[in-house]
Structure formats: structure tokens, C-alpha cells
């Protein structure tokens, strides 16, 4: 896991090669909306892509993380089924429901049943190389989701250059990233992490909570500014030094949100002394997002060591799947 986190830049470069070599057939349908359906490490990629493309994509990009699809899905919907293993039961059921609605379907997976279905039904797909846990392979799936949107004419190919720049940035600053991650690890160790980020970076914040759960075996929570200013901020009423807050910041955050963070920090500091800010690096939203993700992945790995847990262990998930298999 540590090697995968350190080598994230190489993962992005390899992902770009896979996307460039993918053979996708032309589509004659007019696409009115996009639904990315997937769970876990594959599903969070859809959330992040929906944010990364929000200002450019010519149609709405939504995400689905369950068995069902919304009623508006039809022949003018592009449904992208994303499952690293290709065997995620929720995604496979959503696939069948997309077929029943005559939606345009594209698949992103390393294999399994999903790729079998795509090949058998002559659907567009991008096949990833087999790898480790999906949570460590997110760079692959996000890159292919962007390739699919580009293929359907919904975004430009500018993401390719931005991903290459991201890979170089993460490589260049890897020593600094690991040093920053160690500081954040010290800040969060032995406490309940509370993650705040601004609108547009919800996917990054959710990803961090997921990594803390899977890698570090820790519960945490997140919220987004300005939304949390309309509800959660009122909940800060009791002093609790077991809570540790991180505000993730970007120079491009809305100026009003910049001011909100300053005020929020003042408020929550009355109830816990463990409050820190962390600023992203990079020029584009893609660079900033992946930079923060790489820092947080290091933090989750560090905390797994501090918590004396096995980072790859997911016995409770395997138990859940085993119990479901009985029905």
C-alpha cells in the first residue's frame, strides 16, 4: 500500500496510456445526461469526476451508489458502470436496469462479469490491468471516466495534460507531501477526525473518510462549506478534546468561503484545541484534488501503523458479502 501511494504519479501515467489505447466505438445517440454508477473505491471516482467536470461538461453528470437507477434514465442517458473488480453486485444490477431503459452504456473495469457483459453485448468499455485493492487504484478509474466523457464529446481532452502535470507535481513534491502527512497524522492520532472542505472538493473529503475507515480502521466525519454553515456549525456547543478538525483549503475557493473558513475556525477552536488548515498545491482543480488525495492517503497509511492495524484487512466486508451470498 505504501508503494502504491508513493508511486501515485506513475499510476496516473499508466492510466493515461490505458485510456489512449482504448478502442471505443462511435455513438449515434444524443446524450442528455450522464450517470456514473459504482461503489466504494470505484464509486468515489464518479463523485470526484462529477466535480472536476462541473464547469465544462455540457450535460449534468450524476452519481449512483446503489442497486437502482433514477426514473429519468432513458435512451439519451450515458450510464458509465465503474467497478474495479467487475463483480460488484450493486453495479451489475444497475447495469441490467440501464439496459432495460435502453441507455447508452460504457463500462470501466479490470475484468469480471462487467467486462464479460460489455464484450458479449458489444458495448463500449475500457479494461484496466488487474491490481490491488480498488481503494488504491482510484487514479486508474478516474482517468478512464474522463476518457469516456471525452469520447462522447462531453468534455475536451485538456484533462490529459492536467493529469500529466499532476503526476509530475506529486513526484516532485513527494518528500514534502510525506512530511506534511506526518504532521497531519500527529494531529489526528488518537482523536476523531472531522474533515471540512469547500464546495467542489466533497469527493476528496469523502475519500479521506473512506481511507480512514478502510486503511486506518477509524471512524470520522466530513462536511462541506458553505453547507455546514447552515446547520452543523450550530452543533459546536460542547468542549471535546477528542475531536480533531482539518480545514482543507485552496487558493481558488470562493472568496466568501475563504472568509467562512476563518470564522468557522474561530468558532470550533472554542471547543477543541486540535484545529489545523491544509492548503493544496497545483494550478488546476485536477492537480489540487489529486495532491490532497495523495497527502490524505499517506495520512491514512500512517495512522494504520499508529493504530497497529493491518491496512489491507477488510474482514468485516468479507463477512458481509458471505452473509449476503446465503440469500
**Terminal C-alpha separation, the chain:** 33
Task: Name the active-site residue from 51, 90, 162, 214.
Answer: 214
Active-site annotation holds for 89: no
Contact of 92 with 113, CB cutoff 8 Å:
yes
Given the residues 172, 183, 270, 321, select the one marked as catalytic. 321
Q: 23: how many CB neighbours lie within 10 A of its CB?
A: 7
CA distances from 153 to 37, 78, 257 (A): 20, 12, 33
- Does 214 qualify as catalytic in the annotation? yes
- DSSP label of 173: T
Q: Residue 286: which of 200, 191, 174, 195 has the closest Cα?
A: 200
CA distance 76 to 28: 10
- State how far the Cα of 149 lies from the Cα of 177, in Å rounded to an integer: 30
Catalytic one of 230, 315, 323, 326: 230
Residue 24's CB is within 10 A of a number of other CB atoms, namely: 16
| Residues assigned a catalytic role | 214, 230, 321
Amino acid at each position: 500500500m505504501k508503494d502504491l501511494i508513493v508511486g501515485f504519479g506513475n499510476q496516473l501515467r499508466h492510466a493515461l496510456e490505458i485510456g489512449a489505447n482504448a478502442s471505443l466505438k462511435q455513438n449515434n445517440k444524443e446524450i442528455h445526461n450522464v450517470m456514473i454508477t459504482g461503489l466504494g473505491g470505484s464509486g468515489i471516482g464518479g463523485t470526484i469526476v462529477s466535480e472536476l467536470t462541473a464547469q465544462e461538461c455540457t450535460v449534468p453528470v450524476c452519481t449512483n451508489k446503489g442497486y437502482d437507477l433514477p426514473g429519468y434514465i432513458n435512451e439519451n442517458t450515458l450510464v458509465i458502470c465503474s467497478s474495479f473488480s467487475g463483480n460488484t453486485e450493486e453495479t451489475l444490477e444497475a447495469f441490467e436496469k440501464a439496459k432495460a431503459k435502453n441507455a447508452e452504456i460504457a463500462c470501466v473495469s479490470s475484468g469480471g462479469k462487467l467486462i464479460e457483459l460489455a464484450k458479449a453485448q458489444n458495448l463500449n468499455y475500457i479494461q484496466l490491468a488487474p491490481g490491488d485493492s480498488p481503494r488504491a487504484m482510484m487514479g486508474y478509474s478516474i482517468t478512464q471516466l474522463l476518457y469516456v466523457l471525452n469520447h462522447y464529446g462531453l468534455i475536451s481532452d485538456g484533462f490529459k495534460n492536467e493529469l500529466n502535470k499532476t503526476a509530475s507535481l506529486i513526484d516532485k513534491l513527494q518528500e514534502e507531501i510525506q512530511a506534511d502527512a506526518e504532521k497531519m497524522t500527529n494531529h489526528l492520532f488518537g482523536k476523531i477526525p472531522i474533515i471540512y472542505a469547500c464546495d467542489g472538493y466533497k469527493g476528496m473529503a469523502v475519500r479521506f473518510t473512506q481511507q480512514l475507515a478502510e486503511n486506518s480502521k477509524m471512524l470520522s466525519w466530513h462536511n462541506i462549506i458553505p453547507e455546514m454553515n447552515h446547520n452543523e456549525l450550530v452543533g459546536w456547543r460542547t468542549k471535546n478534546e477528542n475531536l480533531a478538525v482539518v480545514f482543507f483549503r485552496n487558493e481558488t475557493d470562493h472568496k466568501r468561503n475563504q472568509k467562512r473558513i476563518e470564522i468557522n475556525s474561530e468558532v470550533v477552536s472554542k471547543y477543541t484545541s486540535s484545529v489545523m488548515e491544509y492548503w493544496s498545491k497545483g494550478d488546476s482543480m485536477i492537480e489540487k484534488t489529486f495532491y490532497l488525495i495523495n497527502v490524505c492517503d499517506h495520512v491514512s497509511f500512517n495512522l494504520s501503523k499508529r493504530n497497529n492495524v493491518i491496512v489491507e484487512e477488510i474482514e468485516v466486508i468479507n463477512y458481509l458479502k458471505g452473509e449476503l451470498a446465503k440469500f
